[in-house]
Amino acid sequence: MKTKNVLKLFLTAGLLFGVSTLFAKEKVYKLKLATTWGPTLSPLIDSAKNMAQMAKTMSNGRLIIKVDASNKHKSPLGILDMVKGGQYDMGHSASYYWKGKDINTLPFTSMPFGLTAPEQYAWFYYGGGLELMQKVYEKHGVYSFPGGSTGVQMGGWFRKEIKNLDDLSGIKMRIPGFAGEIMAKLGVQVTNIAPGELYTALDRNNIDALEWVGPSMDVKMGFHKIAPFYYTGWHEPASEMQFLVNQKVFRKLPKDLREILRVSMRLAAYDMYAQNYDMNAIAWDKMKKEFPNIQVKTFPKPIMDAMKAANKTLRQEMSSKSKLLKEVLDHQDAYMKKVREWSKMSDYLYLQDNI
């Protein structure tokens, strides 16, 4: 072969290698995400949508995440199963929805009398919480990340005022999760009902009380027309949603897209907390002006004490059944002891003097 031809060959080969490398970097990854939420359920659905939008723009279109609302896949409470099984690459939901399948996933949404949102974010990201969450989700082949906090949820809507423990006894209430178990200990007939049927259930006397989220999402549901006693919160002080990602899918992404995905999820979560704080402020103000008949109440101390006692007993029962659950709950408790002291000296004392 002549020198000139050899040179040509090298140049061509080099050029083709360079081009193919560059085009490989331009490969588009398309992921599908299933949510528990309806297509317009702000701010919950916004967290997933904002995350997808950030990932698309930051990756210059190389990471496209399609967000399916619950009307698309018809399985609002089956998100973990679908991400685990590979029908979906990602999910956005709440960890405590599948406590029946894996009790260890319970403590990552919110625990009664547990951490507040700033405390819980500190725990997740700097106190070891995220590592414990990955440990729990490892056996499902899924990574789990915080997906947005509602902050303190309200204690719910009641048809009549709850003055003592007798008033609770026998009433039918929609309250899911661990809080429902506590209410059951206090004599409440506990049930769970899908969000879309809550108003009808109340209207038809199928239930006497219900909890949903807080002013940002409750007031437009119209519960106050039937159950005007609105109780402040105790059972979900910082309900954190969760992003789920199938581990195999995550590992196949190039390094830059993995970081784009991680950062988009983490920012969307914090942003949902700020968005919902704003929505709650607006909705609370509107509620006070437009619906002066709503009676905002706090459960009397004897009821709170009974709830706390039931909480303690139930946690001990649960902990005795799973070593890993005990590890997570003990870790949260130890962290709360320290961080609550700081919350008291900072936000609590400050608010006390400025309300």
Closest to a copy of itself by CB, 196 or 300: 300
Closest to a copy of itself by CB, 49 or 266: 266
Residue 176: asked if its preceding bond is cis (omega within 30°), the reply is: no
Closest to a copy of itself by CB, 130 or 314: 130
Least distance CB 317 / a copy of itself (angstroms): 22
Beta strand pairing status for 229-231 and 156-158? antiparallel
Least distance CB 11 / a copy of itself (angstroms): 11
Closest to a copy of itself by CB, 37 or 121: 121
Place of tokens 């709830």: 307
User: Quick one: three-class SS letters along 6-57?
Assistant: HHHHHHHHHHHHHHHHHHHHCCCEEEEEEECCCCCCCCHHHHHHHHHHHHHH
Least distance CB 201 / a copy of itself (angstroms): 25
Could you tell me what percentage of the chain is helix, strand and coil, using 3-state DSSP and rounding each to the nearest 5?
60, 15, 30
Closest to a copy of itself by CB, 76 or 127: 127
C-alpha radius of gyration, the chain, whole number: 24
237-251: b or e for each residue (b if 16 or more CB lie within 10 Å)? bbbbbbbbbbbebbe
Closest to a copy of itself by CB, 58 or 201: 58
Least distance CB 228 / a copy of itself (angstroms): 16
Residue 159, Cβ density class (10 Å: 0-12 exposed, 13-18 middle, ≥19 buried) = middle
How many secondary structure helices (H) and strands (E) does the chain include?
Answer: 15, 11
Distance from C-alpha of 290 to C-alpha of 215, rounded to nearest angstrom? 13
Least distance CB 279 / a copy of itself (angstroms): 8
Q: Please name the residues in contact with 7: beta carbons below 8 A apart, sequence gap of 6 or more.
A: none
Least distance CB 196 / a copy of itself (angstroms): 26
Closest to a copy of itself by CB, 78 or 237: 237
Least distance CB 256 / a copy of itself (angstroms): 4
